[in-house]
Amino acid sequence: MAESTMLVTMLLLPWAAAIAAPVLGRSSVAGRVLAMTSMLAVLWLAVTMFVAFDGAAGTASYGVDLPWMPSLGIHLKFAIDGYNIYFLLLTALLFPAVLACAWQTNEGRSPLYLGLLLALQAGLLGTFLAQDMLVFFVAWEAVLIPMVLLILVFGGAQRRRAAMTFFLYTMAGSVLLLAAVIWLGAEAARQTGAWTFDYASLQSLQLSTSQQLFVFIAVGLACAVKSPLFPFHAWLPLAYGEASASGTALMAGVLSKMGAYGFLRFVVPFCPDVAQNLAPLMMLLAAVSIVYGAVLALRQQNYKMLVAYASLSHMGYIVLGLFSLQHTGVHGAMVQVLSHGLAVAGLFLLLGLLEQRHGPAWLQVHGLATRAPRLAVVLMLFVLASLALPLTSGFTAEFLVLLGAFTTGYAHWLAGAGATMLVATLLAATGVVLGATYMLQFARSLVFDDSRVDATFPDLRPRELLALAPLLLVILWIGVRPGVWMDKVDGAVGNLARPPAIALMGANHGK
Amino acid sequence: MTSLSLIPALPLLGFLVNGLLGKRLPHAAVAVIACLLPALAFVLTLGAFATLDATGQPLTDTLFTWAATGSFHVDAALYFDQVTAVMCLVVTGIGTLIHVYSIGYMHGDAGYARYFAYMNLFLFFMLVLVLGNNLVVMFVGWEGVGLASYLLIGFWFQDPAKTAAGLKAFIVNRIGDTGFLLAMFLLWYYAGTLDFQAVNAYFGSTPPAAGVMTTIGVLLLIGACGKSAQIPLHVWLPDAMAGPTPVSALIHAATMVTAGVYLLSRLSGLFVAAPDAMTIVAWLGGLTALVGATMGVTQYNLKKVLAYSTMSQIGLMVMACGLGAFSVGMFHLYTHAFFKACLFLGAGAVLHALAGEEDMRRMGGLARRMPFTFGVFLLATLALCGLPPFAGFFSKDEILWSAYASTNGSVALWLVGTAASFLTAFYMFRAIFMTFFGASRVDASLAHHIHEPPASMSVVLAILAFGSVVAGFIGLPQWWRELLGVTAPFYDFLDPVLGHTPLRADVAHSTEGMLMTVAVLVALPGIALAWLRYGRTPVQASAAGSNNPLRQLVSEGYYFDAFYDKVVVRPLGWLSATFLARNVEAPLTAVTLLQPAHAGARVTRLLARLQTGGLQAYVIYALIGLAIVLSLGACNG
């Protein structure tokens, strides 16, 4: 009982705070304090549950199940399992950091902003923790509204266009998703005689290949838009560019992970045969995303756009690893969810801090190392995580993803089952070099190049350092000792990974 | 935590202390922390070495499971065997000395604490690299030293040229690292493990098809090429001289750049089962040795002469590995660490005296003003040129002998190595004559400033010079050993891991003496020629070299940089800024940007309706879409 109380508290707290915070009014800090308290409480609950979660079993825990529309088999069912535990932690970690960085801004003082932020968190928690597909869909949609408003109210000059593009684009994906959800419920009714949207029940449905293909395309497209994957990323430059630092950090950090979550929660488990058949195509798409984003990032003069395209590139690794359908690859995809979420949010938040200090001319900032050494060091650490330097989570993720993708691709190639996966892996491996190039160019221009513009501004404040330190801590922890993290999702990964179609060589694999 | 894991942990501690608190500490405290911790690591290494020597059993230390899933299992584990011992002693020993030297060299620099923090960070990663029990741990160190190198090359970050050099070093290394990664994936695919011992055992006993072995070997070689500045990935090393000179000595001469040789030796069990890859390794090493030496001939920058020399000498080590003479390659690595560090630090003393002047055309006559520096520089040069009885003689001679006599060797390879030796003697004595002899061409404003280095620097120079003289005696060649009735402790020590060079049955030992004489004799005309060109005739301060195309080709580094710029950098820039940004990304986004002026009229009207109609329109739109999709789904069912 205590367990489900914790879960319910975590789900409801942001809603309650979202309603209460604006009421407290504009002038006082009370609204901000309340919002932060709620976020820290969620973080505390999430960490507690994360620590207690037994990943090896892979079963759901902290479950809560309330009938909502019993006639249609819809339940308010939430639980923590190996699929969503990283996503939960990511959501819990990022929001306090975002709020802390926006603490002194006009944005941060606005009651509307606080309310939207909390509603966004509530929606995300619902999305990731739902165990009923219709509830999932409702939460997925609920995320969209506060996000669009965040862009619309607090964005840059082109915010209206950015918000509308983002809205329509993701909406188009959502329609497909809803279609698949309803169809799955109907199919359950046909096969078992009762409507249900429960994950476990839906997953046990026997779907023909063509039925799987329909679900794969409908849900897959929604996720490809959300992640985004090339060529479904057209909303990204405008949305990431126009949203405020908070908005961009959350979009790139957590909202993009909804797409990744959809792939690994629904697309692969519900459509196992099609997933295996289309894996080469998906891996190729992922590899093209990786290279496309990376090459575009090479020549971006605008820091924010550079990180935006880097983000597109890094999201590709998640899909690449997942569709390798192999233990290390899927683990890598999972780690990349956390790693990319933390690193890209950190970078966007830091760019936001520069914007706060330097006003509209912040894109011309250079030579941070002399002007704001602490800021420079923290930024450098996020840069290193982004370029996947060992001992950061970025390396753990990219290494596992590429290892898994290579293993699958090579095995298929040797067995004469086509070279697409291997080609995709080799293509993706160029991202290792390209990623270092644009990230270090970025660092060189922003941190080191001291030859232009002289301006002084305050270094990182303790509050800001405190906001970013937890992100860095997790990044380093996963880099140094990923084993303890991977154990949490090993059960889920085991379910996602297919036994390799072609056995690996070497006696040691049998052990 | 055993003493083994303390070896890398101590420099890491130094990095953390100086990195976090260094700004607030007095310079003396920074220096003591930065030098004492590596010195302690050296003492611990000596202890581990003694244990290893006494028992003959490698030391291991498993810290924790790094990652495990399915059949994948990698431990964070350290391994200390004979090869590790040699590397560890060189890294901590020479490393500590160069730290001490830096106290004087970096005196008064604004980034004093930052410098020592980075240097300690480098030692940490380098020790992780050599102590790693598997390829993943090694890769952590491998990329980590790349980071430290990047930070130290661009240490004076106000200068865009220096940060560009650091960037280039990291990116070129990343290309090599990608090869390393792919090799790792193949190793894991076949062997199911990434532990060095298990990998060697697996590929030594049940190697897959020859093509696979060659591929693995070549991928590992690509990794080694990046780190060890071998052709075609050597282009970062000359630029890396932008860093402070002690950095060049430690990272870009004595330790990091030799990591490729260590990698090849570490996986010697695999390489001996890949004969084609071995041939490629040997020839690539030989080629780099020769090409690097020719590039040294045309340089006027003292540090760049030494940089090309390093590239060339590592080429010899790589060649030794390709010949199966792994322990010989390691021996040259060890002697090279002494004399090349001594040369760089000697050059550092010159730079220090001349306020940073690196151009040899503006030096000259320094032997009189800096006799001590000249002395140690000369000793190290003699060692590099391979003249007996200096350290380089024994190691280089053994490589040339292997080139001739090993089963993989050939007269052609021997000739390549010998030609490199001739050129080495020429360019080094060219440097000596230009720097230390003749009339002074030093700028008048600097002339009065010329001084011998302070004690902290000269002590280190003296120790390294001493090493350059005597370090070779622990690895005497076979026929000297027979003649003198002594052993070669170095080779005997490494024998359990790396074995002996496989020699052809038909070579006579008398040949060895003859070849050795040739190798020594070939250095003498090199020195003589250098004297004729640069010693006897005075050097002009404005000398620019002739315009002959061959010289142009060499002095431009065979146009490697220009080639990469044309073939890689610019096309990528075009792909990024022109093709993708304008021709793909722009139209792709334009479609969705809802720009009425640009989008088609029908789309505009529809979308405008949608916008004005608000929620209602959206709901209708959504339901229509839903109906279509559902009916499609139903048809499928």
CB neighbours (10 Å) of residue A90?
A: 25
Residues of B in contact with A237 (CB under 8 A): 585, 589
Q: Does the distance separating the beta carbons of A410 and B189 come in below 8 Å?
A: yes
| Alpha carbons B289 and B312: distance in angstroms, whole number | 4
Contact of A402 with chain B, judged by CB distance below 8 Å, is answered with: yes
Residues 6+ away with beta carbon under 8 Å from B77: B60, B61, B62, B63, B132, B133, B134, B137, B195
H-run or E-run covering B550: helix B549-555
Cβ of B28: how many Cβ atoms within 10 Å? Answer: 9
Give dist(CA A113, CA B337) in Å, integer. Answer: 61
CA distance B385 to B178: 35
Nearest residue in chain B measured CA to CA from A442: B167
User: What are the b/e assignments for B257-291, b being 16+ CB within 10 Å?
Assistant: bbbbbbbbbbbbbbbbbbbebbbbbbbbbbbbbbb
User: From the candidates B185, B203, B233, B621, which should be mutated to test the interface with A, based on the most A CB atoms within 10 A?
Assistant: B185
Within 10 Å of residue B369's Cβ, how many Cβ atoms? 16
CB contact under 8 A, B181 and A510: no
Instruction: State which residue of chain A sits closest to B23, comparing Cα positions.
Output: A373
> Which segment, A433-442, B351-360, B431-440, B578-587, is predicted with the most confidence on average?
A433-442
Report the residue from A175, A235, A506 with minimal CB separation from B626. Answer: A175
The per-residue pLDDT for A504 is 54
Which residues of chain A from 233 to 262 reach within 8 Å of chain B, CB to CB?
234-235, 237-238
Min Cα–Cα distance to chain B from A109, Å: 29
pLDDT at B173: 94
Q: Residue B563: which residues within 8 A CB-CB, separation 6 or more?
A: none
Of B64, B577, B632, the CB nearest to A481: B64
Q: What is the DSSP string of B124-156?
A: HHHHHHHHBSBHHHHHHHHHHHHHHHHHHHTSS
Q: Going by C-beta distance under 8 Å and a sequence separation of 6 or more, which residues neighbour residue A359?
A: none
| DSSP assignment string, B197-213 | HHHHHHHHHS---HHHH
What is the crossing angle of helices A462-480 and A373-386, to 10°? 30
Q: Which residue has the tokens 């704001």?
A: A372
Which residues, listed in sequence order, are joined to residue B69 by a DSSP beta bridge? Answer: B72
Interface touch B625/A327, C-beta < 8 Å:
no
pLDDT for A501 equals 47
The pLDDT, as a whole number, for residue B521 is 86
Query: CB under 8 Å to B313, separation ≥6 — which residues?
Result: B289, B292, B332, B336, B340, B384, B424
Does the distance separating the beta carbons of A168 and B186 come in below 8 Å?
no
Find chain B residues with C-beta within 8 A of A432's C-beta: 174, 177-178, 181
Which residue in B has a C-alpha nearest to residue A206's C-alpha?
A: B637
Q: What is the pLDDT of residue B593?
A: 52
d(CA B559, CA B537): 30
Q: Is residue A507 over pLDDT 80?
A: no
Name the pLDDT band for B613 (thresholds 50, 70, 90). very low
Neighbours of B598 (CB within 10 A): 11
Across the interface, whether the CB atoms of A328 and B69 are under 8 A apart is answered: yes
CA distance A275 to A267: 7
In this complex, how many residue pairs, one in chain A and one in chain B, have their CB atoms less than 8 Å apart? 205
Backbone dihedral angles phi then psi of residue B75, each to the nearest 5 degrees: -95, 150
Closest residue in B to A215 (Cα–Cα): B633
pLDDT at A149 over 50: yes
Task: Indicate the average pLDDT of chain B.
Answer: 88
pLDDT at A359 over 80: no
Interface contact B175-A433, CB threshold 8 A: yes
Annotate B321-358 with three-state secondary structure.
Answer: HHCCCHHHHHHHHHHHHHHHHHHHHHHHHHHHHCCCCC
Q: Which of A282-286, A298-302, B586-590 has the lowest mean pLDDT?
A: B586-590
CA distance A251 to A162: 13
Q: Is A503 on the interface with B (CB under 8 A)?
A: no
For residue A58, what pLDDT is reported?
Answer: 62
- A141 in reach of chain B (CB within 8 A): no
Dihedral pair phi/psi, residue A62, rounded to 5°: 55, 35
Could you tell me the pLDDT band of residue B630, with boundaries at 50, 70 and 90?
low
Q: What is the pLDDT of residue A27?
A: 62
Q: What is the mean pLDDT of residues B99-117?
A: 91
Q: What does the radius of gyration of chain A's CA atoms come to, in whole angstroms?
A: 22
Residue B69 and residue A493: Cβ atoms within 8 Å?
yes
Residue B22 distance to chain A (closest CA, Å) = 13
Residues A229-254, mean pLDDT to the nearest whole number = 90
> What is the pLDDT, as a whole number, of residue B110?
87
pLDDT at A510 over 60: no
Which residues, in sequence order, are bridge partners of residue B77?
Answer: B62
Letter string b/e over residues B59-72, b meaning 16 or more CB atoms within 10 A of that residue's CB: bebebebbbbbbbb
pLDDT at B617 over 70: no
pLDDT at position B221: 96
Residues of chain A in contact with residue B139, where contact means CB-CB under 8 angstroms, are 390
pLDDT greater than 70 at residue A37 = yes
Cα dist from B590 to A31, A155, A293, A419, whole Å = 40, 20, 17, 34
Antiparallel, parallel or unpaired: β A74-80 and A61-69? antiparallel
pLDDT digits (tens, 9 = 90+) for A393-422: 999 999 999 999 999 999 889 888 889 999
Q: Which residues of B touch A483 (CB under 8 A)?
A: 64-68
What is the chain B residue with the closest CA to A491? B69
Which pLDDT value is given to residue A120? Answer: 94
Distance CA A166, CA A144 (A): 9
Determine, for residues A390 and B580 on separate chains, whether the beta-carbon distance falls below 8 Å.
no
B633: amino acid identity, one letter: G
- State both tokens at B28: 């003396």
Neighbours of B614 (CB within 10 A): 9
Mutation target among B216, B578, B636 for the A interface, most CBs of A within 10 A: B636
> CB distance B171–A179 less than 8 Å?
no
CB atoms B630 and A164 under 8 Å: no
pLDDT band with cut points at 50, 70 and 90 for residue B375: very high
Does A67 reach chain B within 8 Å, measured CB to CB?
no
Higher pLDDT, A249 or B581: A249
* Best A270, A505, A511 residue to mutate vs chain B (most B CBs within 10 Å): A505
- Give the closest of B164, B190, B592 to A235, CB-based: B592
Closest CA in chain A for residue B140: A390
Chain B partners within 8 Å of A326 (Cβ): 70
Scan for tokens 């079993």, then name that residue.
A57
**Which residues from A are below 8 Å from B594, CB to CB?**
161, 164-165, 168
Residue in B with minimal Cα distance to A444: B163
What mean pLDDT is predicted for residues B586-602? 56
Which residue reads 């084993």 in tokens? Answer: A483
Provide, as residue numbers in chain B, all residues whose Cβ is less than 8 Å from the Cβ of A234.
588-589, 591-592
Task: Tell me the residues of chain A between 416 and 445 that have a Cβ less than 8 Å away from chain B.
Answer: 426, 429-430, 432-433, 436-437, 440-441, 444
Asked if A40 reaches chain B (Cβ–Cβ under 8 Å), the answer is: no
Interface test with B, best of A215, A288, A299 (most B CBs within 10 A): A299
- Residue B328 CA to residue B337 CA, distance in Å, equals 14
**Cα B158–B164–B170 angle (5° rounding)?**
125
Q: Nearest CA of chain B to the CA of A222: how many Å? A: 13
pTM: 0.92
* Cβ atoms of residues B60 and B77 within 8 Å: yes
Residue type, A442: F
Report chain A residues whose CB lies below 8 A from the CB of B121: none
- Are B363 and B302 a contacting pair, CB within 8 Å? yes
DSSP state of B488: -
> pLDDT at residue B596 above 50?
no
pLDDT in tens, B32-58: 999 999 999 999 999 999 999 899 899
Cβ neighbour number for residue B611 with a 10 Å cutoff: 14
On whether any CB of chain B is under 8 Å from the CB of A505, the answer is: yes
Mean predicted confidence (pLDDT) in B112-133: 95
Q: What is the pLDDT of residue B61?
A: 92
CA B172 distance to own-chain centroid: 12
Q: Which residue of A has its CA nearest to B161?
A: A449
d(CA B10, CA B38): 7
CB-CB under 8 Å, B70 with A175: no
Q: Calculate the CA B286 to chain-centre distance.
A: 17
As a whole number of angstroms, the distance between CA B95 and CA B345 comes to: 12
